[in-house]
Structure 1
Amino acid sequence: MTNDVYWLLKLDLDLDNKDEFEALMAEMVAATLQETGARSYEWHMTGSAVHIYERYASSEDAMIHMQNFGASFAERFLALLTPVGLDVYGPAKDDLREALAPVGAVFHQQIGGFDR
């Protein structure tokens, strides 16, 4: 088992805003790269569907990311993208659960397996 907390956020993008989206994504990737607890931060796109895979070393590190996101990016992000799903894995603490709840996060409990 792992202490990592990770999720797959699914979003819909209005393709008329693709240039703004790409600029914002570049800013967000650069900012998240500075977070020492961020292990993976990958953006994927097919048509207007955007998926973001994020992995953090702990629930506390994920919460640091959420605080940075809220302070610097949330307003512009939510003006461009519509959340359609969020699946969260790992031992998310109550504060992180609260922070992710507004976008309909579904929390999954690990029941087996391993992490290398």
Structure 2
Amino acid sequence: MTGHVYWIYELEIKAGAYDKFAALKDEMIAATKADEPGTLNYEWSVSEDRTICHVLERFENSEAALAHMGNFGKKFAGRFLEVLTPKAMRLYGHPSDAVMNTLARVGAVRMPPIGGFSR
């Protein structure tokens, strides 16, 4: 098994906020790609009716996840919550206590690995 940390975040897009959401998403993707080499996956998906968004985020390790969360808090958290309502977060891999404690604030549910492999 790897030391990777990853999660799937489910969010509701607020009524009438899709255009603001889409612009913010693009800005967040560009910033994460440019500034966070420890972010391995950062993939956004949206339901066909544009009301639900899923974000898959995978990090090299807990330190990279914490760096991402710090950047998010400083740059995007306020605007993010203006257009999105958090619904659920599932946390996978081998997160440190610091990652667990930080994500506990958003109700993250840890799903400990019990088998399989990662290439």
> Where on the TM-score scale, by shorter chain, does this alignment land: which range?
over 0.9
Match of 1:39, SS? Answer: strand
Structure 1: gaps spanning 5 or more residues:
none
Which 4+ residue blocks in structure 1 deviate beyond 6 angstroms? Answer: none
> What is the aligned-residue RMSD (CA, Å)?
0.8
Aligned residue number for residue 18 of structure 2 = 18
The normalised TM-score by structure 2 is 0.94
Alignment of 1:52-67 (within 5 A): 52-67=55-70
Match of 1:85, SS? Answer: strand
Alignment of 1:69-88 (within 5 A): 69-88=72-91
Q: Distance in 1 between matches of 2:37 and 2:44?
A: 19
Q: Count the aligned residue pairs.
A: 116
Q: Distance in 2 between matches of 1:66 and 1:99?
A: 9
Identity %: 46
Structure 2: gaps spanning 5 or more residues:
none
Which amino acid in the other structure matches residue 38 of structure 2? G
Match of 1:60, SS? Answer: helix
The normalised TM-score by structure 1 is 0.97
Deviation at 1:15, TM superposition (A): 3.6
